[in-house]
Amino acid sequence: MDCINPFLVSVTNVFRTMAACELTRGEPFLAAEGQPTHDISGVIGLSGKAIGTVVVSLERQVALHVAHAMLGEMPPDLNGDVVDAIGELTNMIAGSAKSQLEQFAMSLSMPSVIMGRNHTIAFPGEVTPIAIPFDCQWGPICVQVGLCQKTA
């Protein structure tokens, strides 16, 4: 759970800085396998002395407003600009958290952005990700973090 705190902080900070958006945090919970997500999810991998994945999942309206704040104009739908904005947001959240987890010497992979109603994201093996629900004036956001130390 110690590893989750940096993510709590970075999510709140990145939304405030990038989208002038104040988040209210809900209770973190262990995400059941194949937890349903919102309409669009940014996914990024971390690797080093620990490996992990961070998923930032947003309702359509939240994604559009975040992209609006980051790009200066409201996108008409979940287009390439929104993909870029959500990829960048995910990258910043993971990057900021990782710098607070120096003991794992992790580096970031490239973000990818998943779309599609009712998509689910599961983590294989014994890793149970922690899901952290947030709310903002535009709707809900859920951040999932799965992290495990390398055994080798």
Closest alpha carbon to 38 in 141, 135, 145: 141
CA pair distance 103, 3, nearest whole angstrom: 11
Determine which residue in the list 77, 102, 125, 151 makes contact with a second copy, applying CB under 8 A: 125
- Name which of residues 4 to 33 contact a second copy (CB under 8 A): 33
Binders of a second copy among residues 40 to 59 (CB under 8 A) are 43-48, 51-53, 55
Taking CA atoms, 13 is separated from 9, 22, 96, in Å, by 6, 9, 9
Residues 94 and 13: beta-carbon distance below 8 Å: no
Closest CA to 39 of 113, 144, 118, 145: 118
Number of shown-chain residues binding a second copy (CB under 8 A): 40
- Judged by CB, which is closer to a second copy: 6, or 111? 111
CB of 24 to a second copy, least distance (A): 26
Site residues, a second copy (CB under 8 A): 33-34, 43-48, 51-53, 55, 80, 83-84, 86-88, 107-125, 127, 146, 148
